Amino acid sequence: MARRIARAGFELHVTARRPAAADALVADGATWHGTARELARHADVVVMVPDLPDVEAVLGGDDGLLAGVDAPTVVVVCSTVSPEGVRALGRRVAEATGGLARLVDAPVSGGEEGAVAGTLSVMMGGHDEDVAVAAPVLAATGTPVHLGPTGAGEVAKACNQMIVAATVLALGEAAVVAERAGLDVRALFDLLGGGYAGSRLMEVKKARLAEHDHSPSGPAQFMVKDLGFAAAEASATGTATPQLDVTRQVFTELTDAGLGDLDTSVVQAYVESLGRER
């Protein structure tokens, strides 16, 4: 994402907890800063991607980002985090800087493939004027869409993860049924991709499911956190979630079984293990 932003013509300033993580960007012309406080003095839009506790650690303290804010700054959180947590963080960021720093939540979907290609779906939440500042920067990474007030982006990402979790579980389960019935799983998904069952996720995952390749990509265990956020927002809005309840249980159980570091397609192996138990 950072490389895409730089290629779009923006002046890129970087810092990282592991300096080596930014070496390639610095080699390409980005300016390195040893602390977030130092970086804050050179950037009007700051894009961050760790979890909320990590974000707060980078924001706070003598060398934190907020200590260096001396002009209007938009802090963009691209992580998948709690909607209520990001709303509360937004209030604290504004209070700590007398309104100079404002927070926009902008989680993304599309994975590493989308980040490299610049085709991410960017789900934005925040005040209109803050989103207007951040959106041109994020447009370098994909398609940013403003969905509502602070937290709206995280709600959108929670909905995205609900759909992804349900779809990949359906794909994994169908793959097991088809294979045990003697079907060619790859040929099946190639065929189904042209009908109502077709989806972007099927296109991306069908080779993995046909080959039982669950090598690490997007770790399945992250779904436990993401679906937990979805469940919390559903509870807050009084929404029944029969599908979410099942997928959340499945991803929790497969993570507890030691499969959480593998790709989400590992639901196939989880379903197979249930069949062996019977």
Terminal Cα-to-Cα distance of the chain (whole angstroms)? 46
DSSP string, 151-219: THHHHHHHHHHHHHHHHHHHHHHHHHHHHHTT--HHHHHHHHTTSTT--HHHHHHHHHHHHT---SSSB
**What are the tokens at 127?**
């005040």
Residue reference for tokens 């190639």:
190
Report the C-alpha dihedral over residues 85, 87, 89, 91, rounded to 10 degrees: -150
- 157 assigned to active site: yes
Which residues are designated catalytic?
Answer: 157
